[in-house]
Amino acid sequence: MTALFISQKRAEIPRLRSAFPDVRQVDPERVLRLTKRGDQIWLMTDHAEWPALTTALAAQGCTIVVMTLVPSEAEALQALQAGARGYLHALSPPELLSQAALVTGNQGVWVPAELLSKVLGAAFTTLGGRESLPVDSLAILTERERAVALAVAEGRSNKEVARLLDITERTVKAHLGAAFRKLGVRDRMQLVLKLSRQDENIV
Amino acid sequence: MTALFISQKRAEIPRLRSAFPDVRQVDPERVLRLTKRGDQIWLMTDHAEWPALTTALAAQGCTIVVMTLVPSEAEALQALQAGARGYLHALSPPELLSQAALVTGNQGVWVPAELLSKVLGAAFTTLGGRESLPVDSLAILTERERAVALAVAEGRSNKEVARLLDITERTVKAHLGAAFRKLGVRDRMQLVLKLSRQDENIV
DNA sequence: AAAAATATTGGACCGAAGGACAGTGTTTGA
DNA sequence: TCAAACACTGTCCTTCGGTCCAATATTTTT
């Protein structure tokens, strides 16, 4: 994993280097030929092409954190919609940079707390929430039947479930059979499909 | 820092416990008196008050991850809007739960990759999952093995697949056995889990 | 108190699933 | 051309999964 700092201007960010000693500074024009899947990119918004560059790098499988000197809600949304996983002030303290790296490196999204509600609120109103409250199939099961069904839905065999719940394999079969009947499925395969893909049945 | 698992039903989630051995299960009614700032809350959407509870807990300074058996874009938005920092499938593998805990514990937002783009309206590329992507997994199979594996992953029995592909049930077993070996799974249950939860599987 | 639901287990049965071993014909690549 | 991969099928065997016939004890509901 390589860490790259992309900026049009030659403005070095000391705090970035103190958080990531191995970071390399690269020009926007050449970065697309230097990056590979999984690279961590710190991208300054000091040139006009940064949204397109973000999208292109995201398509390559890079993790992009957009850095700005003037944070704004609009720019944050633009960054995230372009495929960036993080957005923060360029002069953030090193601990914050490390935190953002940790979060974005683990498939998370990092946005400053004061912008988070605005960004999510905007996303919410933009997409509009259509209320589709899916019925919970497991509600009609008893506690024990549900425990067995959930364990089975994770791929466990009857014997494994028996050990897990400290009951006989025969009892597992009993609960499981009851669950099958109540849920209207014929076997464990249908069960796991019903549980993991219910949204497709609703919508 | 305390980890609490909140569910109306007594459904234990074994994977949650395997990722966080010290997690305590608490009833929704009593959780507000037990939590303190910084606690990590895993909240199931199996009762009607979960959005209000999320807001209340977020106001207390807790980190909330909403878990559901039926992920949907609308519910994800509702969770984040209510103040949750994470949203994921209740049957996610332990590594994913750990990752979500890490991200949300560091002020990050965690949403499954396939929902992230919808939630933020962004062009996220599915990063991670190197050898786990469905296409990658199925790529190592022959055309026939892939056809059988996909049919089985839809819940069909060997006999049904045989009729579907107009071959003998014995041949289905042959192709399926080869697929098991190549994919490193032990039976059809593991296969459907591997294929249906690919997008969440990061490794 | 009576009735219903739940949790637990037993035995037996049968089909499905998966592997071991063996064989045929076709296609493809070195 | 020859080896390797592929597609296909057979028999035999073991284990697993699911359902049928029960039974008993506890809890909850009516």
pLDDT given at position B171: 93
Domain(s) labelled CATH 3.40.50.2300 in chain B stretch across 3-120
pLDDT given at position B158: 92
3-class DSSP string for chain A:
CCEEEECCCCCCCHHHHHHCCCCEEECCCCHHHCCCCCCEEEEECCCCCHHHHHHHHHHCCCEEEEEECCCCHHHHHHHHHHCCCEEEECCCCHHHHHHHHHHHHCCCEECCHHHHHHHHHHHHHHHCCCCCCCCCHHHHCCHHHHHHHHHHHCCCCHHHHHHHHCCCHHHHHHHHHHHHHHHCCCCHHHHHHHHHCHHHHHC
Please report the residues numbered 113 through 142 in chain B whose beta carbons come closer than 8 angstroms to any beta carbon of chain A.
Answer: 113, 116, 118-125, 127-128
Which CATH code of 3.40.50.2300, 1.10.3720.10, 3.30.420.10, 3.30.420.40 fits the domain covering A3-127? 3.40.50.2300
More confident residue, B132 or B158: B158
What integer is the mean pLDDT of B84-102?
86
What integer is the mean pLDDT of A19-27?
77
Domain(s) labelled CATH 1.10.10.10 in chain B stretch across 134-200
d(CA A194, CA A203): 14
d(CA B157, CA B153): 10
B2: confidence class by pLDDT, cuts 50, 70, 90: confident
Which CATH code of 3.40.50.620, 3.40.50.2300, 3.30.70.100, 1.10.287.130 fits the domain covering B3-120? 3.40.50.2300
Determine whether the distance from the CB of B183 to the nearest atom of strand C is below 7 Å: no
Cβ–Cβ < 8 Å for A45, A7: no
Spell out the CATH class of B134-200.
mainly alpha
Partner-chain contact A120 B72, CB within 8 Å? no
Q: Which amino acid, A150?
A: L
DSSP letter string over B25-70?
EE-TTTGGGT--TT-EEEEES-STTHHHHHHHHHHTT-EEEEEESS
Residue with tokens 């509870």: B53
What integer is the mean pLDDT of A66-84?
84
pLDDT tens-digit profile of A143-166?
Answer: 888 888 888 888 888 998 898 888
pLDDT for residue A48 is more than 50: yes
d(CA B143, CA A187): 27
Strand D positions closer than 7 A to protein CB: 5-11, 16-20, 22
Q: Which of A185-189, B39-43, B108-112, B132-136 is predicted least confidently?
A: B132-136
More confident residue, B13 or A169: A169
Q: Does A78 touch chain B (CB under 8 A)?
A: no
What integer is the mean pLDDT of A101-105?
89
**Of A109, A175, A187, which to mutate for an interface test with B (greatest number of B Cβ within 10 Å)?**
A109
| Token pair in block for residue B203 | 């490794």
pLDDT tens-digit profile of B39-78?
Answer: 888 988 877 678 778 877 887 778 899 988 777 777 888 8
Residue with tokens 């850095």: A67
Domain(s) labelled CATH 1.10.10.10 in chain A stretch across 137-202
Domain(s) labelled CATH 3.40.50.2300 in chain A stretch across 3-127
What integer is the mean pLDDT of A50-75?
83
Shortest CB distance from A58 goes to which of B9, B123, B197?
Answer: B123
Residue B183, CB-side half-sphere exposure with 13 Å CA sphere: 32
Q: Which residue of A has its CA nearest to B194?
A: A155
Closest of B148, B142, B137 to residue B184, by C-alpha: B137
pLDDT given at position B15: 72
Q: Does A105 touch chain B (CB under 8 A)?
A: no
Q: At what angle do helices A169-183 and A188-196 cross, to 10 degrees?
A: 60
pLDDT given at position A12: 64
pLDDT given at position B72: 78
A136: confidence class by pLDDT, cuts 50, 70, 90: low
Q: Residue A135, exposed/middle/buried by CB under 10 A (0-12, 13-18, 19+)?
A: exposed
Q: Residue B144, exposed/middle/buried by CB under 10 A (0-12, 13-18, 19+)?
A: middle
pLDDT for residue B32 is more than 80: no
Q: How many Å apart are A140 CA and D30 C1'? A: 21
| Token pair in block for residue B112 | 């499954």
Give phi and psi for B87, each to the nearest 5: -150, 125
Pairing of strands A40-44, A3-6: parallel
d(CA B149, CA B185): 12
Fold of A137-202: Arc Repressor Mutant, subunit A (1.10.10)
Strand partners, B67: B44, B88
pLDDT given at position B76: 86
Cβ–Cβ < 8 Å for B87, B74: no
Q: Residue B191, exposed/middle/buried by CB under 10 A (0-12, 13-18, 19+)?
A: buried
What integer is the mean pLDDT of B174-189?
88
Q: How many residues does chain B have?
A: 203
The mean of the pLDDT values for chain B is 78
More confident residue, B148 or A116: B148
pLDDT for residue A198 is more than 50: no
